[in-house]
Structure 1
Amino acid sequence: MLEEDLLYILALQRVKGIGDINAKKLISHCGSAKNVLKEKRHVLQKINGIGAFTLQHLFDKGNLKEAEIELTYIQKNDIETFYFEDKNYPDKLKHCIDAPILIFKEGNFNLAKQPIISIVGTRKITSYGRDFCEKLISELKPYNPIIVSGFAYGVDICAHKAALKNELQTIAVLAHGFEEMYPKSHKKYVAEINKNGGFITDFWHNDALQRENFLKRNRIVAGISEATIIIESAEKGGSLVTADIANSYSRDVFAVPGRSTDNFSKGCNDLIKRNKAAILTSAKDLVEMLNWDLETKKERAIQKQLFVDLDETEQQVYDFLLKDGKELLDIISLSCKLPVYKTITILFNLEMKGVVKPLPGKMFEAI
C-alpha cells in the first residue's frame, strides 16, 4: 500500500462518529479514503445513511495531523496493516459488515490456507476448564488450526499457551494499542507469541484501554474465525457477548457443557439449551461439524461439478458458499460483486438444481 493511501485511511479511521460501516459506505461511493476526504460535503450527504450529523467531524484538520503521527509510528516499528479492500485482509473478517477498515499486526503469523478457531471464556477458569482447553487444543494439533483469543486472564491465556505448547500459531486480539499491555502480568508471554503468532488490533498505538473497547475487540475475535468455542462462562460475561456476535455473523458456536450446579458452566449450558451453541465434548465434535475432513469436502465439490450444469456466475456463487458455508444474501452479493437482484435469481436457480438450500433470515447454504 502506498504511504499516501495509508495516511488517508488512517485519517478516515480517526474521524469521530463515522465508524467502520459508514466508512465503508463512503469509500465504496468515492473510490478511496483520500477521495472521501477531498469530496464536497453536500455530495457525501446524499449517500444513503449518511447525513450532516455523521459528517460533522469528517473535515477536521486534526484528523490528518494525528494520522501523520500514527503513520510515523507504523513505519518506525514495522507494523503491518490489513486494509479491508486488500488481499491480505483476514478472509472471514472481510465478510462482517462492521469489521474494521484497518487492522494493525505485530508478530509472525500466516492466515492463508489454515483453519482458524476462536477460544474464549471466563477469566476465572477452573481446573475442569483448563484441562478441557489443553486437551482440546492438543487433539486438534493434526489439523493445524490457528488459535485466536483475547489475551485476557483465564481461558484466553490458557488457549494461547496451549497453542504454543502444541506448536500451533496463536493470535491475540487486543482491546488497546500496541504501547499498552493488559493485563501487565501477561507481558512475559509477548515474545513467545510473536515467534509463532502475534497480536492484532484496530486501536492506534497509544489508545488506552477503555471498558467499551472489549466489545470492539470481541467482534474481531468472533469474525476472524470459522467457529467460536466457549470453554466456561457464568450466566453473564464477555464470552457470551462474543458468542452472540459470532451467531450474528452466521458462524458456528460451540459450548462446553458442565454440571448445572457449577457457576462457570451456567453460561455454556444456557447457550446449548437455547440452541445458540452446539455441544462440545471433544475435538471430534468440532472436526465433524466443521467438516475438516478436506478430502471428503473436495470430493463433494467435484461430484457437484460433474453432475450439475452451472453457468459461470452460478459456479461463482456456489463456490463461495461451498467455501464459506451458510451466508447472508447481502454478504453473498457483496463478496461475489453481483447486484442483489441478480444474486437472488442465481440462488433460486441453484436451489432448483439442488445444490443450495435457503435458510431462515435470508441465509443460504451449499448442500
Structure 2
Amino acid sequence: MKEVDLNYKIWFGSLKISNNIKIELLNQLGNEENIYIHRKDIEETGIKCASKFKNDINIDLNSRVINDINKKDYKIVTYLDKDYPKRLKNIDEPPYILFYKGDLERAEDTNVAIVGSRKCDPYGKRCASLIASGLGKAGVGIVSGGAFGVDTEAHKKCVEENFYNVAVFGCGINLDYPVYNRELYKKIIKNGCIISEFFPDTPPLRYNFPQRNRIISGLSEAVIVVQAGEKSGSLITANYAVNQGKDVFAVPGDVFSSQSRGCNNLIKDGAGIFTNIGDLLNSIPFKIKKEGKCNKDGKKEENSEINQLLLSILENNILHIDDIIRVTNIDTSIIYELLCELQFENKIEVIPGDYYTKII
C-alpha cells in the first residue's frame, strides 16, 4: 500500500459522515483520491453532508497513523481493499475503515459470536467457557467484544486452548480497554485478531459500544447470547444478527434470576435454545480451515482411517459425543474436527443434544 494512498484513506476515514455515505461516494467516484480531488464539488452529486468534504488532509493525524503503521503497531483495511472482510460488506452500515492487530484473514472462516452480561455469575462464566471450548474444538472461530464477564471468559478459553478468536473494540486499538484485559489482548493477537472501526486513540465512549456490536454479529455466522439481563447490550448484538439474517441462540437461565431475563425473553421471541454444540452445528455453513498437522500426508491418511471408523459406528446408530469418544478412544479435539468434516461432506447428521448418526 503506497503512503500516498494511505493519506487519502485516512483523510476519508476521519470524515464525520456515515459509512453508508462514504460507500455511496466510493461507488460514484471510484476511490478516495478522486473524492479528495473533487471534494469541493461534492454538493453537485446530491449527497448530503457535502460541507464535510471540503476539509483538507489533516497532516498531524495522517502522520501519527502512518507512523504507527510503519512501526507495525497495527494495520488498516478499507472497504475497497481485497482483504476487507467480505461478510461485513453484506451488513447495513458496513465500516469504511478497520484498524487491526493480528490475523484478519481467518475472519473469513466460520465464526460464531459469544456475547453476554458484563456481570455474569459463575453459571454464565462456565457456559461461556464451555461453549467457546466446544466450538473451538469443532473448528469454529469465536467473535466477542473483549468486555468483562461473558466476553472475557470466551476469549480466555480460546487463548488457553489456542483457538482463533476476534475481539471487536468499542474504542481505538491503541487503548487496552478494559485495562484488566491488557495481557489477554496480547495473547489474542498471537492466534487471533483485535479490531476496531474507530481511530486508534478514540476513547471508550459509551455510544461506541452499541455501534460496534453490528460488527460482532456481522463477522459471525450465528450469535449465542450466554447470559443477559433485560437491558444487556448483548441484546443489541442479537437484534443486529436478526436484521442481518443470522441465527440467534440463547442459553436458558434461572427464571428467578434477573441475569437470565434477557436470554429467556429471546427464547420466548423465537431464538434457538442453546444447550450443547449440537444445537448449533446444523445451523451454520462450515468453511473450516485445515491447518498444521492436518496438512501432512501421514495425518490425512490417519484421519481418513478414523473417518471410516466413525462412519462405521454411526451406521444405523445414533450416538452421543461422549459415547463416540469412549468407543474410539481418540482425543476429543480430533473427534470434533473429524465429525465436522463428515458433516461438511454430508456424510453424517448432527441431532440436537450432541448426538450423531450416519446419513443413509
TM-score, normalized by the shorter chain, greater than 0.5: yes
Is it true that 1:111 corresponds to 2:106 in the alignment?
Answer: yes
Partners of 1:40 and 1:10 in 2: CA distance = 15
> Highest relative contact order (Cα 8 Å, sep 6+), 1 or 2?
2
CA displacement, residues 18-72 of structure 1 (integer Å, 9 cap, x when unaligned): 1210000001100001111111544x33445x13xx1112111254552333222
User: Alignment length, in residue pairs?
Assistant: 294
Greater shift, 235-244 or 138-147, is seen at: 138-147
Q: Letter of the 1:253 partner, please give it.
A: V
Is it true that 1:72 corresponds to 2:67 in the alignment?
Answer: yes
CA displacement, residues 119-142 of structure 1 (integer Å, 9 cap, x when unaligned): 110001111111212222222233
Determine the structure 2 residue equivalent to 1:195: 190
CA displacement, residues 173-214 of structure 1 (integer Å, 9 cap, x when unaligned): 111112212111111212211211121111112111111111
Partners of 2:118 and 2:39 in 1: CA distance = 48
Determine the structure 2 residue equivalent to 1:208: 203
Conservation of the 8 A alpha-carbon contact between 1:234 and 1:265: yes
Partners of 1:154 and 1:57 in 2: CA distance = 39
Q: Are the structure 2 counterparts of residues 192 and 250 from structure 1 closer, same or farther at C-alpha, using a change threshold of 3 Å?
A: same
Determine the structure 2 residue equivalent to 1:134: 129
| Uncovered stretches (5+) of structure 1, i.e. residues with no partner | 301-367
Is it true that 1:278 corresponds to 2:254 in the alignment?
Answer: no
SS at match of 1:168: coil
Q: Are the structure 2 counterparts of residues 40 and 156 from structure 1 closer, same or farther at C-alpha, using a change threshold of 3 Å?
A: closer
Partners of 2:44 and 2:345 in 1: CA distance = 46
| Uncovered stretches (5+) of structure 2, i.e. residues with no partner | 287-339, 348-360
CA displacement, residues 139-166 of structure 1 (integer Å, 9 cap, x when unaligned): 2233211111111100000000111122
Q: Name the TM-score, length of structure 1 as normaliser.
A: 0.75
Determine the structure 2 residue equivalent to 1:351: none
Q: Are the structure 2 counterparts of residues 138 and 236 from structure 1 closer, same or farther at C-alpha, using a change threshold of 3 Å?
A: same
Conservation of the 8 A alpha-carbon contact between 1:228 and 1:252: yes
Partners of 1:101 and 1:72 in 2: CA distance = 21
Which of 43, 58, 61 is matched with 1:45 structurally?
43
Which of 81, 89, 92 is matched with 2:84 structurally?
89
Q: 1:112, CA displacement in angstroms?
A: 6.0
Q: 1:267, CA displacement in angstroms?
A: 0.2
Q: Name the TM-score, length of structure 2 as normaliser.
A: 0.76
Q: Are the structure 2 counterparts of residues 295 and 3 from structure 1 closer, same or farther at C-alpha, using a change threshold of 3 Å?
A: farther
SS at match of 1:219: helix
Question: Hey, which bits of structure 1, 4+ residues long, moved more than 4 A?
Answer: 291-300
Partners of 1:238 and 1:86 in 2: CA distance = 31
SS at match of 2:142: strand
Determine the structure 2 residue equivalent to 1:9: 9
Which of 231, 237, 243 is matched with 2:238 structurally?
243
Which of 231, 234, 241 is matched with 2:229 structurally?
234
Partners of 2:215 and 2:100 in 1: CA distance = 13
Q: Letter of the 1:31 partner, please give it.
A: G
Determine the structure 2 residue equivalent to 1:33: 32
SS at match of 1:135: helix
SS at match of 1:259: coil
Q: 1:108, CA displacement in angstroms?
A: 3.8
Partners of 1:121 and 1:112 in 2: CA distance = 21
Partners of 1:82 and 1:74 in 2: CA distance = 11
Conservation of the 8 A alpha-carbon contact between 2:116 and 2:149: yes
Conservation of the 8 A alpha-carbon contact between 1:14 and 1:67: no
Q: Are the structure 2 counterparts of residues 92 and 213 from structure 1 closer, same or farther at C-alpha, using a change threshold of 3 Å?
A: same
CA displacement, residues 278-309 of structure 1 (integer Å, 9 cap, x when unaligned): 11111110112225455555569xxxxxxxxx
Q: Are the structure 2 counterparts of residues 64 and 29 from structure 1 closer, same or farther at C-alpha, using a change threshold of 3 Å?
A: farther
- Kindly report the root-mean-square deviation, in angstroms, between the aligned alpha carbons of the 2 structures: 2.0
Partners of 1:139 and 1:202 in 2: CA distance = 29
Q: Letter of the 1:289 partner, please give it.
A: S
Q: Letter of the 1:118 partner, please give it.
A: A
Conservation of the 8 A alpha-carbon contact between 2:100 and 2:173: no
Determine the structure 1 residue equivalent to 2:51: 56
